[in-house]
Amino acid sequence: MAKIKTYVRPMQGWWRRNPFFVRYMIREASSVFLAIYAVILLVGLARLTQGEAAWDAWRAALTSFGSLVFHWLALLTVGYHAYTWWKVAPKTAPDLRFAGRPLPELVITAGGWFATLGASALVYIIVRWM
Amino acid sequence: MKRSNEPIFWSLFGAGGVLSALVAPILILITGIIAPIGVWMPPQALDYPRVLAFAQNGFGKLLLLAVISLFLFHAVHRIYHGLHDVGMHVGTGTMVAAYGSALLGTLVAAYLLLVIGF
């Protein structure tokens, strides 16, 4: 049977045609960094169960140039994910009302950003001083 | 009609999205950048006895499991649905591989947190 030759619009590189889609793809790409980071933590946990020498070897590996580059890229992309997560929160969150009126979108988004800042400060304080 | 499994994965994706939006940047910054290079974070902060005590504490275990598991479920959900965007039209096998790997990571983390003691 002859192959039917209908025109298929090429979609190669579709997201590069529009800055909105470029930002979308950066946000989606953050998940790859997040997954790898979760695996790095999981490996760290495994090394922790093997004793002090194994744990120190894991920590030493994290000082390598490749690891630092990865974590910088992960910080940038996952940070962008955090920024956009709260940006869309007014549209994804359930209907939040205050005194019978829907909460303004900016309040929800800014609340999320402040929650991230607060949680980050808390984590830093706990890791450093507690 | 077959019931959709999407609500389960969407919930895990959402929970992981919130948790990662709250603490992923600071965790990446601490464990991956400032602790390794020793700037703004003394190296002793992540010394073996300290981290071990955290992993042996019930609350610490819960946090570690939540971070590893929910980050994974959030990420695989996005990667799985993002494959379409890069021109890969995937089926059930890929779906099982995606969520299965997140589940496997969760089980491994839970196992490690058990054997590390209390």
Instruction: Per-residue pLDDT tens, chain B, 118 aa: give them.
Output: 678 888 899 999 999 999 999 999 999 999 999 999 999 999 899 999 999 999 999 999 999 999 999 999 999 999 999 998 888 888 899 999 999 999 999 999 999 999 999 9
Residue at A117: amino acid letter: L
d(CA B76, CA B105): 11
What predicted TM-score, i.e. pTM, was given to this entire model? Answer: 0.93
Domain at A16-129, CATH class: mainly alpha
B115 contacts in chain A (CB < 8 Å): 49
Q: What is the pLDDT of residue A3?
A: 77
Nearest to A120 among B26, B33, B51 (CB): B26
d(CA A79, CA A87): 12
Q: What is the pLDDT of residues A99-121, one digit of tens each?
A: 888 888 999 999 999 999 999 99
End-to-end CA distance of chain B: 46
| CA dist list (Å): A54 to A58, A64, A85, B106 | 6, 16, 36, 22
For chain B, the structural domain boundaries read: 7-115
- Mean pLDDT in residue range A14-32: 93
CB A88 within 8 A of CB A62: no
- Mean pLDDT in residue range A20-36: 95
Nearest to A74 among B30, B32, B113 (CB): B32
Strand residue runs (E) in chain A: 97-98, 101-102
The reply to whether residue B48 touches residue A52, judged by beta carbons under 8 angstroms, is yes
ipTM of the complex: 0.96
Q: Go through chain B and tell me how many residues it has.
A: 118
Fold (topology level) of B7-115: 3 helical TM bundles of succinate and fumarate reductases (1.20.1300)
Q: What is the pLDDT of residue A1?
A: 64
d(CA A51, CA A32): 29
For chain A, the structural domain boundaries read: 16-129
CB atoms closer than 10 angstroms to residue B65:
16
